[in-house]
Structure 1
Amino acid sequence: MLRGLSSLEARMVLLLGLAGLAGALVFAGVTQWPLPQLLVWMHHDLGIDLGAPAHFSFYGGLLISVAFLLPLSIWLGHRVMSPVTKLLRALEGAVASYRDGDFSFSIASNRRDELGQLIRMHNTLGHTLRDQRQNLAQRELLLDTVVQNTPVALVLTDAGGRVTYANIAARHLFNEGRTLHGLNFVELLSDSPEALRRAVESGEDALLTVEMDGSEETFHLSQRNFRLQGRPHRLQLFRRMTRELSRQEVSTWKRVIRVISHELNNSLAPISSLAHSGAELARRGDVSRLPGVFATIGERAKHLHSFIAGYASFAKLPAPQPISIAWQPFLESLSLHCKFKLRGALPEQPGWFDAGQIEQVLINLVKNAHESGSADDEVSLSLAVIGRDLRIEVADRGPGMSETVLAQALLPFYSTKRSGTGLGLALAREIVEAHGGRIALANREEGGLRVSLLLPLGPR
């Protein structure tokens, strides 16, 4: 009940009711009682004539009531709208403060009606905005600290090519540690190596090696366009890769040396032992066993030659010579070297690749599928056109690969086979990427492995 009486709506209803009651009383007092009786008494008994009629008509009473109620209405309206007007002015000031980024504005009030509730909600909103602004400022400070101290050179330019933001690494890379803000980035690159300028002008990501300060530096350039505050901007990231690539190169060479050393020892140790045994047999005159010894030595030497030839072919892979490939002759030739089941219809468009190189890739993939333990009729090959690319898939029903093996299977010299060289899938990747395509490995949901080659359908 008290809450209802304290509401702004209840007060307005009460004041309007009082105004209406006052108007009715004035009208009744003017037209009925006591004003007419008072005028008659003053005229007859006191002899005072005010010049007013003894009895007012309906319209006369209405006119007098309006004349009385008009100032009363103005006063009541002021009383009702005064707190609303004050609140609107306060809210106007608050909005102006928020527009200027000042969220410390609050409104003092002890009202218990709707206006008081609105004021309390406004103050709560201001407190929330202050907290959010403080948290945002702390995050911006943290982000700026991270960006400024990262070794990756970061340059942000506007639509006119002028630098709007650059971190410490970028200042040292392009302007000897001085600020880049406001400078034209293209003009700034005029003193940089030509390869770096061309990479930036291309607008694409790139991995490039340039000569700087008397030594070679390798950079990975990443470029992105986006809109910041409704305006186009361009972000360029220059990451030094020299040390990382050097570590990767050393790691790769160590892996190569381990693989080659292991393979050489596996072949040279038996050859050395058999040579010693052959010499001992010859010394004893037991020549009947010498052909077997020499045959074993020849077999190990042949295996070693094959191993070295495989590495040589990987290192000297020629550039592909893609031509238009008719599917039927190509698949007939492939079936002479390996067994597979063709799934799906052949594409209407011819292929576009180096037949010899892609055939070698597919032979190796089909061979791996058979070695996985999959049944012969479950090793399949499928062809499909996806947009402007050709997808070739080799699938089996073997055990598939673990996540660790999937992540490293395409790396050179990585192999899970005891006698493997780790070059098969790496060579396939090298050939496919030289064609402008890519290779992917994935486990099948029903079990088995799927190797997908994505090749362009024409020159690009």
Structure 2
Amino acid sequence: MARSLNLQVRLTVLLGMAGIAGALIYHGVTQWPLPQWIAWMKKDLTLTVPMPTGPHSGFVVTLIILLPLSLWLGYIVMSPVSRMLRALEGAVASYRDGDFSFSIVAQRRDELGDLIRMHNALGQTLREQRQNLAQRELLLDTVVQNTPVALVLSDASNRVVYANIAARHLFNEGKSLQGLDFAELLDGTPETLRRAALGGEDALLTVEMDGSEETFHLSQRNFRLQGRPHRLQLFRRMTRELSRQEVATWKRVIRVISHELNNSLAPISSLSHSGAELARRGDTERLPGVFATIGERARHLHGFIAGYASFAKLPAPQPSHIDWHPFLQGLALHCKFRLLSTPPEQSGWFDAAQIEQVLINLIKNAHESGSTEDGVTLSLMVIGHDLRIEVADRGPGMTDTVLAQALLPFYSTKRSGTGLGLALAREIAEAHGGRITLANREEGGLRVSLLLPLGPG
């Protein structure tokens, strides 16, 4: 479609035409032909009425004639712009009301036509986006409504704004929660659940419901929706999941214990039979060796059972102020390591016996990784209000799978391992109010970081 002259050129042409018309009118009034025509009428028609012939009179007459012409030309120029502005005003009002079906119909080939086409394209885009958004909202609502996690969204006055099916069944016997006071709904729930929901913090709690115990994980978040404060609360039933994990853990424990018992009881049984046969034959010279092997396997089995017992009966830590030099000297008597940093000036705050046992296990693991003795290092540093103790080696490190499970009880990659060393270290660290992390080193090897608080509280 061929493009017509733009508005600027057309306005320039019309203004030029108006200027030329004004000049011609002024010339006609003051120079020719109006003065000659007036002189002729005075001479031949003997008119006695005075007629304007001076420059000022000509200017006034020109204005009188040019004013209607200017108004007409202005109407021609501004009429399409005015229609466009009215149409855009209607479109904006329609968009404000959420109606994106408004389109402007006009066949123009100038800037106004481009604006009309851009407006219509914008309307089409908004309609498509609104349709896609509606479909996504429908999908999201379907997912949220059918999730087993109970979801409750409440406003600043604690009125329920949104709740899914699981929440309706949990708090109102399947009936709608919309507009209800959530605090009043919680009055009919167990006290533990009510306190946790009103407390504003995430929690893992067990409550008595319908004659049985239910474990919930509660997540709570505050945020602003459309400029107003809201709270989102998620109540996830964990009973089945925890039960499955408990069963899986017990199965793993049974497998490990059964494997270790079989490895010890089978040779004990065989050696006992052999000892009885030697005694029957009177061959007493070989009996001490048989009894020694039986005793060795019994001691190994006793140590294995004692390890599990110590993990299950780990006493609460008794932290105290620890002077670094005696502590490190005592640790060096049990294992070899290279100290990378000077000890902090501030004393430590932990149970010396428990942390020493953790470090002995970590340093022992570092040596068993295949690292050289010089590659096993220990570093101490203060970070904020925490103490970080770091044991590092130059072994092969761990795969992502092993890293994700290394701290779990009974998980071990060693054929003779019990899977309790790192789990015990984690238990001790968390009992101190700290944590333990594992990470591969960029240059090769593993880094185990033990983070402990520097003081009580």
1:77 maps to which residue? 74
Residue of structure 2 equivalent to 1:284: 281
The equivalent of 2:252 in structure 1 is 255
Higher deviation after alignment, 135-144 or 36-45? 36-45
Matches within 5 A, 1:214-253: 214-253=211-250
**Which amino acid counterpart does residue 113 of structure 1 have in structure 2?**
D
The aligned residue for residue 33 of structure 2 is 34
Amino acid across the alignment from 2:131: Q
Aligned partner of 1:106 among 85, 103, 108:
103
Deviates more, 1:146-155 or 1:378-387: 378-387
370-379 or 120-129, larger mean C-alpha shift: 370-379
Matched, 1:444 2:444: no
- C-alpha displacement at 1:345, in angstroms? 2.4
Query: Which residue is 1:12 aligned to?
Result: 11
- For the residue of structure 1 that corresponds to 2:442, the secondary structure is coil
**1:4·1:10 contact (CA, 8 Å) conserved in 2?**
no
> Displacement of 1:348 after TM fit?
2.3
CA distance in 2: counterparts of 1:376 and 1:125, whole angstroms: 70
Shift of 1:344: 1.5
The answer as to whether partners of 2:4 and 2:110 remain within 8 angstroms in 1 is no
Which amino acid in the other structure matches residue 65 of structure 1?
T
Letter in 1 for 2:407: L
Amino acid in the other structure paired with 1:180: L
Aligned to 1:97: 94
Measure how far apart 1:329 and its partner are: 1.9
Using a 3 Å threshold, how does the CA distance of structure 1 residues 267 and 23 change in structure 2: closer, same or farther?
A: same
Aligned to 1:131: 128
Tell me the distance in 1 between the aligned counterparts of 2:356 and 2:390: 13
Distance in 2 (alpha carbons) for counterparts of 1:25 and 1:3? 35
Shift of 1:109: 0.2
What aligned pairs does 1:408-447 form with structure 2 within 5 A after superposition?
A: 408-447=405-444
Contact 1:344 1:382 in 2 (8 A): yes
Assess if the C-alpha contact under 8 Å between 2:390 and 2:449 holds in 1.
yes
Larger CA deviation: 319-328 vs 366-375: 319-328
Alignment of 1:400-411 (within 5 A): 400-411=397-408
Within-5 A mapping of 1:343-422: 343-422=340-419
Write the deviation string for residues 11-47 of structure 1: whole angstroms up to 9, x where unpaired.
1111111111110001110111111111112222333
Equivalent residues in 2 for 1:299-338, closer than 5 Å: 299-338=296-335
Which residue does 2:263 correspond to in 1?
Answer: 266
For 2:153, what is the secondary structure of its paired residue?
strand
Q: How far did 1:386 drift?
A: 1.6
Q: CA deviation at 1:4?
A: 7.4
- What secondary structure is seen at the aligned counterpart in 2 of 1:397? coil
Q: Which amino acid aligns with 1:193?
A: P
Q: Does the residue aligned with 1:317 lie in a helix, a strand or coil?
A: coil
SS at match of 2:262: helix
Q: 1:364-410 CA deviation, whole Å, 9 max, x = no partner?
A: 00010011111111111111112222111100001111111111111
Runs of 4+ in 1 over 4 A off after TM superposition: 2-5
| TM-aligned CA distance change 1:96 to 1:156, over 3 Å | same
Aligned to 1:44: 43
In structure 1, the residue matched to 2:454 is 457
Give the letter for the 1:443 counterpart. Answer: N
Once residues 203 and 456 of structure 1 are traced to their aligned partners in structure 2, the CA distance between those partners, rounded to angstroms, is 26
Deviates more, 1:168-177 or 1:39-48: 39-48
Shift of 1:49: 4.1
Report Cα offsets for 1:52-84 as digits up to 9, x if no partner.
Answer: 15xx22222111111111111111111111111
Cα offset for 1:246?
0.8
Question: Relative to structure 1, is the Cα distance of residues 141 and 336 closer, same or farther in structure 2, using a 3 angstrom cutoff?
Answer: same
2:149 to 145, 148, 152: 152
Q: Which amino acid aligns with 2:16?
A: G
Compute the displacement of 1:163 (Å): 1.3
Hey, what's the Cα distance between the residues in 1 that align with 2:73 and 2:304?
A: 105
Q: Kindly tell me: are residues 411 and 446 of structure 1, through their superposed partners in 2, closer, same or farther at Cα, counting changes over 3 Å?
A: same
Structure 1 stretch 295-304 or stretch 81-90: which is displaced more?
A: 81-90
Contact 1:353 1:435 in 2 (8 A): yes
RMSD of the alignment, in Å? 1.4
Please say if residues 5 and 11 of structure 1, whose CA atoms lie closer than 8 Å, have aligned partners that are also in contact: no
| 1:335 CA drift (Å) | 1.4
Letter in structure 2 aligned against 1:457:
L
Separation in 2, partners of 1:69, 1:260: 111
Q: Secondary structure at the match of 1:191?
A: coil
Give secondary structure in 1 for the equivalent of 2:285. helix
SS of the aligned residue for 2:187 comes to helix
The equivalent of 2:20 in structure 1 is 21
Q: Give 5+ residue unaligned stretches, structure 2.
A: none
Tell me the TM-score normalised to structure 2 length.
0.97
> What CA distance in whole angstroms lies between the structure 1 residues aligned with 2:97 and 2:438?
56
Which amino acid in the other structure matches residue 8 of structure 1? Answer: L
The alignment partner of 1:450 has SS state of strand
When residues 412 and 172 of structure 1 are mapped into structure 2, their CA distance, relative to the original with a 3 A threshold, is same
Mean CA deviation greater in 263-272 or 345-354: 345-354
Deviations 1:400-450 (A, max 9, x none): 111111111111111111111111011111111111211111111111100
**2:293 maps to which residue?**
296
Aligned partners of 1:156 and 1:236 also within 8 Å: yes
Distance 1:228 1:325 in 2: 51
TM-score, length-scaled by structure 1? 0.97
Contact residue 4 and residue 109 of structure 2 kept, 8 A: no
Question: Quick check: 1:42–1:49 contact (8 Å CA) kept in 2?
Answer: no
Summarize deviations over 1:159-212 as a string: whole Å, max 9, x none.
222211111101110111111122222221112112112222332211111110
